[in-house]
Structure 1
Amino acid sequence: MDAFLASFTAVAIAEIGDKTQLLSLFLAARFRSKLAIIAGILVATLLNHAASAWLGVWVAQFIPAGWQGWLLGGSFILVALWLLIPDKDDSEDTGVLKFGAFMASCILFFLAEIGDKTQIATVILAATFDEAIWWVIWGTTFGMLAANVPVVYAGSWLMDKISLDWARRAACGIFLLLGVLTIINY
């Protein structure tokens, strides 16, 4: 259960102001079917994060004993710094939109997650919790949904009320704290 909570929290926080939130906003403005968008996000995230988690478990066999805490804590600190760099909306009109809300969401989300901080966090979390890979996959997936479903349903209203700059700074602070606490307590 620790793997689920750590994974959920890490991804939900890392998603604040991320390009996939901007993609959620774009898709919600483009398509009427909010459930189809959410289903696309779910499928894309499950596929992407499952592959990432299995990569993390494979990588874990090469990490010397005792380094996991430093690696996880250090990665939290690196993600904190990465959060300070604003993402751009790369969701310009593409041919994929003609396939409808579900397929467009699924394809665009899967592609947007490649090399993203949440994918890298998934690899590192799976390497750390290698005995609980399914908890990591479900935690990161639900973390992604927790961050993006509100944007799909209330994105425009949320964007008017919340400063992304301050949200990124708060997320950075939380990740710095998590990184330091992980290193101290591991």
Structure 2
Amino acid sequence: MIAAILLSFGVLFVAELGDKSQLMALTFALRYRWWIVLGGITVASVLVNVIAVGVGHFLGAALPTELIALCTGIILLAVGVWTLWASRHEEPDPDEPVPTGPTSAGRAFLIVISSFLLAELGDRTMFATIALASNHNWVAVWAGSVAGMVAAGGLAIAIGITVGKHIPERAVAVASGLLFLYIGAATLLGAVAPDLGKLGEYSLAAVVPLLGGAVWGLLGRPDRPEEEPAEPHSLQGR
């Protein structure tokens, strides 16, 4: 059982390196607190590997991966557009604290879970888990797969935190939006044109964030209302 856990951990960790899911973890780490992202990744990993183990060990069937990938790509593109739009109209106030209440944290947590769950369904890591579960102890495969995915996500989160400390908030928002556009475009291309291969898929997907960045730059930042000049304070004698 220990051997199956270690095997599953190694396979899933290596499979996640450089994958769209790891890039997504890095992107979320630029926007949300690390514990929210890591918690969302953990929950999504638990759920998706339950499905993968069930399919591989008990059913031996396949999921409609093309439809799932298509829906995932559309959702990620929408998130990218929304993030870029919000970055133009939401001017951060240095005197206003960042919202960290249960409502905003819960919303971010659900966004991370749903995005990762959709991204992992039908992904190569899920097929790896299905294959492992069909030949090894399913509990060990599930535990090792979850640990491998969370470890890879944690690595991406650490990189995102390090990068996010050195760039302005607006630049983080724009970079996040462009990354979401790229991931969504790559996911869509993988669903509608699987013959392109990974190289063609990732290369063509780069066109979408380039266009998005160009449009964002042409639109420019929205005009801010002019502030009325402050009245001069009267001088008081000592």
Q: TM-score with structure 1 length normalisation? A: 0.62
Aligned equivalent of 1:162: none
* Residue 44 (structure 2) pairs with residue 44 (structure 1): yes
Across the two proteins, how many residue pairs are aligned to each other? 129
Cα distance in 2, alignment partners of residues 142 and 101 from structure 1: 22
Task: Map 1:47-86 to 2 at 5 A.
Answer: 47-59=47-59
Offset, 1:157:
5.2
Aligned equivalent of 1:116: 123
- Structure 1 unaligned regions, length at least 5: 63-87, 159-186
* Residue 31 (structure 2) pairs with residue 30 (structure 1): yes
* Residue 163 (structure 2) pairs with residue 126 (structure 1): no
**RMSD across aligned positions (CA):** 2.9
Offset, 1:91:
3.7
Task: Map 1:126-145 to 2 at 5 A.
Answer: 126-129=133-136, 132-145=137-150
Select the structure of larger CA radius of gyration: 2
- Structure 2 unaligned regions, length at least 5: 62-72, 84-103, 164-238
| Higher relative contact order (CA closer than 8 Å, sequence separation 6+) | 1
* Residue 99 (structure 2) pairs with residue 94 (structure 1): no
Aligned AA (2:121): I
SS state of the match for residue 18, structure 2? coil
Aligned AA (1:53): V
Counterpart contact for 1:26–1:91, Cα < 8 Å: no
Offset, 1:156:
6.8
Counterpart contact for 1:27–1:101, Cα < 8 Å: no
Cα distance in 2, alignment partners of residues 52 and 40 from structure 1: 18
Q: Which has the higher helix share?
A: 1
Aligned equivalent of 1:105: 112
Q: TM-score with structure 2 length normalisation? A: 0.49
Counterpart contact for 1:4–1:138, Cα < 8 Å: yes
Deviations 1:44-97 (A, max 9, x none): 11011111101111256x9xxxxxxxxxxxxxxxxxxxxxxxxx9x84452999
Counterpart contact for 1:57–1:133, Cα < 8 Å: yes
